[in-house]
Structure 1
Amino acid sequence: MLPVLMFPQFDPVLVHFGPLAVRWYALSYITGIVLGVILLRRLAVLAPRVATPEQADDFLTWVTLGVLLGGRLGYVLFYQPSYYLTHPVAMVEVWHGGMSFHGGALGVIAAMVLFTRRNKINFLAFADRVTVAVPIGLGLGRLANFINGELWGREAPASLPWAMIFPGGGPIPRHPSQLYESLTEGLLLFTVLYIASRRISIRQRPGFLAGMFLVGYACARSFCEFFREPDAFLGFLAGGITMGQLLCIPMLLTGIALMVHARRAPLYTGTPEPDATLATPASPGSQPRA
Structure 2
Amino acid sequence: LGAGALAGGIVLGVLESLGPDPSFSALAVAGAAALAVALMPRIAWLVVAAGLCGWLVSPEADRQGTALVLAAAAAPMPLLLPRAGLLWSVPILAPLLGTVALAPAFLGLAALAPTPWRRAGLGAAGFLWLALGELITGKELLFGVPDGALPRVEWEGSISAAASDALGPLLSGPALAPALVWAAFAALLPLVVRGRWLTVDLLGAGLWAAGLLVAHAALGDMLAATTVLDQARGAAAGAIAGGLMVVAVSQMAPPAEGWRPARAESVTTA
TM-score computed with the length of structure 1 as normaliser: 0.35
TM normalised by structure 2 equals 0.36
Q: Name the one with the larger helix percent.
A: 2
Greater C-alpha Rg? 1
